[in-house]
Amino acid sequence: VLLSGYIGQQFFLQERSRQRFYPLVERILFSQDHRTMDAVESKETFDLSDKFRQRLRETNAERERTQARIALSTDQLQRMFKHVPKRPRETMQQLDAKIA
């Protein structure tokens, strides 16, 4: 008797929650608001992907600018080391002074 009362109570609670839940689901699924909400969500998702693409382009452009600056600085350093001014030649007197 207790078990059947428990089962009856569970059935009643399930039926009651079903009565509350199903109209809500139907309202959400078949309402105009839900379709609008889907469109808004997909638009936000689309905008998010555009933002990610834009961020990637900006990051790549920044990386290219940095790489160009590094290459320019490297070239300047190589030219600077390559074109070191030569020491002036020593005169005959200076060479004789070193020997003596």
CB atoms within 10 A of CB 8: 10
**Does residue 34 contact residue 28 with C-beta atoms inside 8 Å?**
yes
10-28 mean pLDDT: 62
pTM for this structure? 0.40
Length of the chain: 100
The domains of the chain are located at 32-81
15-31 mean pLDDT: 60
5-19, 31-45, 59-73: the lowest-pLDDT one: 31-45
Q: How confident is the model at residue 1 (pLDDT cuts 50, 70, 90)?
A: very low
2-6, 18-22, 81-85: the lowest-pLDDT one: 2-6
Tokens of 84: 């070191």
Nearest-angstrom CA–CA distance, 93 and 99: 10
Nearest-angstrom CA–CA distance, 9 and 20: 17
Nearest-angstrom CA–CA distance, 3 and 13: 15
